Every structure is written in structure tokens, then in C-alpha cells.
Amino acid sequence: MPPSCPRCRLPLRAEAGVDLCDQCGGVWFDRGELEAAIEAAPPQGAVPAARPEPAVRYLPCPRCTTLMNRKAYERISGVTLDHCNAHGVWLDAGELDRILAFEAGDGRERLAIKLTDEARLDRERQRDASQRWARIRAGLESY
Ligand SMILES: [Zn+2]
Ligand SMILES: [Zn+2]
């Protein structure tokens, strides 16, 4: 039985190694295929405007029909993927373009900056906490 679209329930059409839904424009990538597609993608132009996410709803995996997990793609890309740990990942229409634009543009750079900022904040928070602890100790010693 061919896999069917988790949104429209129509059979997906196999095309160039992925499975497409002609109705909603979603794409199913078997495990590892998305990474391969990103690797092979030609350079992208401008980032397509974010489309409103369809109503949040857990979708069934086209392969095993278990409800998929929702997971942000690299956190700042603005794309939320539906993925089945065992089988692969579902992208709604337009999400692949946004992922490719993220990968090709300055997305990686922005992510690195964000992670560096977060690490710095963490260190500052730890330092604050240890200074506070030192003050508490000093306070206790005066008794
Ligand atoms: Zn569909
Ligand atoms: Zn599955």
C-alpha cells in the first residue's frame, strides 16, 4: 500500500525519491532523505515568507500511522517538522524551501550567534549563583 498524506489521507505520489501530496503540497522524506536533499540542494535565493502553520495537530506517520512528534528545525528557522523516529519526516508545503533557505543563507550563522549568547548567559548565571552562595557563606560566618 502506498503511503498516504497525513493531512489529506490521499495516496502520496513517489517523485525523485520522495513522496509528494498533490493536494496540499506536503512532502514525505524517509529517514535520512531530508539531510541528503539539503546536501544536494542548489544555492537558494531569498527566504520565502513564512506561511501560517496549519492548525497544530499531531499527524500520523505515512508509514506506520503512529502520531508523529513535532520538532522545531534548528530552533530559529521558524519551521516545525512532524517526524517519526523510525521512518522519516513530513514537511508541509513551503517548509522545504524555508529549510533550504535557512541552510543556504545566514541561518547557520545566526544559530551559532544565538548558541554563543546562550552559553554566555549560562556562564553569567552560574557566576551570579556562586557569588550569591559566597555571600550567604560570608553572612553565616559572621554568626
Ligand atoms: Zn496532502
Ligand atoms: Zn513511522
Contacts of 33 (CB under 8 A, 6+ apart): 17, 18, 88
pLDDT of residue 53: 64
Query: How many Å lie between the centroid of ligand 2 and the Cα of residue 5?
Result: 13
8 alpha carbon, closest ligand: 1
Query: How many Å lie between the centroid of ligand 1 and the Cα of residue 125?
Result: 46
- In whole angstroms, give the CA distance from residue 111 to residue 107: 6
Per-residue pLDDT of 99-121, as tens digits, reads 888 888 888 888 888 889 999 99
Per-residue pLDDT of 9-55, as tens digits, reads 999 999 888 999 999 999 999 999 998 888 887 766 655 666 666 67
92 alpha carbon, closest ligand: 1
Q: Which three cell numbers stand for residue 117?
A: 549568547
Q: Is the pLDDT of residue 98 over 70?
A: yes
Query: How many Å lie between the centroid of ligand 1 and the Cα of residue 63?
Result: 14
Indicate the pTM of the whole model.
0.71
pLDDT of residue 52: 66
Query: How many Å lie between the centroid of ligand 1 and the Cα of residue 25?
Result: 6
Query: How many Å lie between the centroid of ligand 2 and the Cα of residue 143?
Result: 63
Share of the chain above pLDDT 90, in %: 45
**In the Cβ-directed half-sphere of 26, how many Cα atoms lie within 13 Å?**
25
Centre a 10 Å sphere on the Cβ of residue 106 and count the other Cβ atoms it contains: 12
63 alpha carbon, closest ligand: 2
Could you tell me how many helices (H) and strands (E) the chain has, helices first? Answer: 3, 6
Helical packing angle, 33-40 and 95-104, nearest 10°:
50
pLDDT of residue 107: 83
